[in-house]
Structure formats: structure tokens, C-alpha cells
Amino acid sequence: MNLPHSVRLVEVGPRDGLQNEKQPISVADKVRLVDDLSAAGLRYIEVGSFVSPKWVPQMAGSAEVFSGIQRRPDITYAALTPNLKGFEAALEAKVEEVAVFAAASEAFSQKNINCSIADSLQRFVPLLEAAKAAKVRVRGYVSCVLGCPYDGDVAPQQVAAVARELHAMGCYEVSLGDTIGTGTAGKTRALLDVVSRDVPRERLAGHFHDTYGQALANIYASLLEGISVFDSSVAGLGGCPYAKGATGNVASEDVLYLLQGLGIDTGVDMDGLIAAGQRICQVLGKANGSRVARARLSH
């Protein structure tokens, strides 16, 4: 299969990247990060999450972040909304697109959101109905598609079943997440072969963590399978509070370098992206998780 001519990067740094940080991060710093990412040319940015601060304290100021950012007409600013209450809060904050999430593993679903996969999907029904009425698009996430910290291997057919449900409920796109980063290129291609029988490839996206250093290989494998949308996080920020040992998302800078090397257009400026990552890393007092950024900055 030919490689895609262009790829859409879904920048999840401000949400998935920051949600696991222990130290408080000011609304102003979050706003600056989103504005920096907008200036770098990213066309889809997940700004925050409308969840209970009890469960994810770092996302408490999402409404304030949305009101503070400089919105550009050609950029989608999205938020994660786990239930109808979260969706209604997102609407008040003038969020343009929302995302819902389910797990491909029963054990992870219980640990993460305290309910079964089936119950989690049922929770989304009123949300998707409200979103349709409000003409707000909904994106779906499926976690643990290539392994679970509690159940171990996850059958591709189970992933396909959850992805099919989300797509049938109205999610225009389903992002498949290797939450613990144990996937390999071969398993990724096998997974996409199975899932694409139920959800068209043009409706699928990849979300890879780099715990085992395989994220870029998995993205390349996905490109070969016709996938042209990938989630990534500036400076490799992130992790999962419910998956012990899971490191950050694949770094946006590293994905961009891979795509540029393949002649695939993204519309993203590398220098601007590196600057955005470096600035938030200085705020957090941590090293930049992008190999490309570290190499460029050391010259």
C-alpha cells in the first residue's frame, strides 16, 4: 500500500501530556503552550479535559484555558469529555470538538473509570445524542489495544468490537491507543487488519506510547496500513495514571521528523514545535523527552 501524501497530527500534549504531572501548572502556562502549538502549525490540539478534579486534578482549569487561548479559525481545539456533565461543561466553554474514551480491556476499564466496557459505552449514548443536537463532532479513543497492564495481551477482535461500537454510535474517528507502549510493528499491522474490517481505515487513528521504544516503528507500520492520523505529545510529555510503568506519548517532534523524512506533509514547523516543547519543559523542570529536540538543541 502506498504511503499517505499528508498526515494529520493530533496534538495531545496540553491534555494527555500534562494530566499525569504531579506539580501544579498554571492556567497561563497551559494557555501559552496551546498558543505556541497553534503558532507551530498544528491544526488539531486537545486543550484539556472536563473531568472531575478529584480524579484528574491537573485538568481542573480547562474552562479557563479555553477562554484564554487565542483561537485560530483553521485549528480545532478539542477536549476530553467522559460523560454528559463533562460535555455540557465543554459546551459552555465553547469547545468545538470532544472526545470520549473506552478500553479494550475489562480490567483496565474497571481500574480507569470504575465500570465495565459495556457500561462505559452506554454512558456515551446521551453524550453523543447531545453532541449531534449541538452539531459538535465526537472522536473516540480505545485504550490498551496492544496490551493491558492487568489482562496482558488483548485480542484484536475485542479491540474491533469496541471500535465498531464507538463508530456506530457516531464517533467520526476512532483512535487506537497502545496505552502501555508494548506494541510492535507486526502486532500493529495485524490489529489494523482486523479492526479495519469493522471501521474504515480513513476513520482510524493511531495513539502510541513509547515505553518499549517502538512508537515510531508502530507509526510507520500504521502508515503502511493506510492510517493517516496520529496522536502525539510535544516533548514526549505524558503517561497514564492507571498504567504503572507507562511512559509518555510518542514525541510530536520525533513523529514530525519521521514524516518529513518520508516526504509526508503535515503543515507543522519543526523549529516552532521544538520551541514549544522546550518552553513547557522548562516550566515543568524536566528534560525534553523528544530525541529530535535534544539532538537539535545540542548543536
The torsion of the CA quartet 250, 139, 182, 17, rounded to 10 degrees, works out to 40
d(CA 3, CA 226): 7
For the question of residue 148 being annotated catalytic, the response is no
User: Which of 144, 148, 240, 281 is labelled catalytic?
Assistant: 240
What count of Cα atoms within 13 Å lies in the side-chain half-sphere of residue 294?
Answer: 9
CA distance 71 to 298: 33
Q: 237 vs 90, 129, 218, CA distance in Å?
A: 23, 33, 18
Is 159 within 8 Å of 104 (Cβ atoms)? yes
CB 236 within 8 A of CB 257: no
Per-residue CA distances from 119 to 102, 151, 177, 265 (Å): 10, 19, 20, 40
What grid cell was written down for 166?
464507538
Return the percent helix, strand and coil in the chain, to nearest 5: 45, 15, 35
| The one-letter amino acid at 45 | I
Pick from 74, 78, 34, 138: nearest CA to 267: 74
CB count in 10 Å sphere of residue 80: 26
Cell numbers 478500553 correspond to what residue? Answer: 103
Rounded to whole angstroms, how far apart are CA atoms 171 and 169?
Answer: 6
Residues acting as catalytic residues: 240
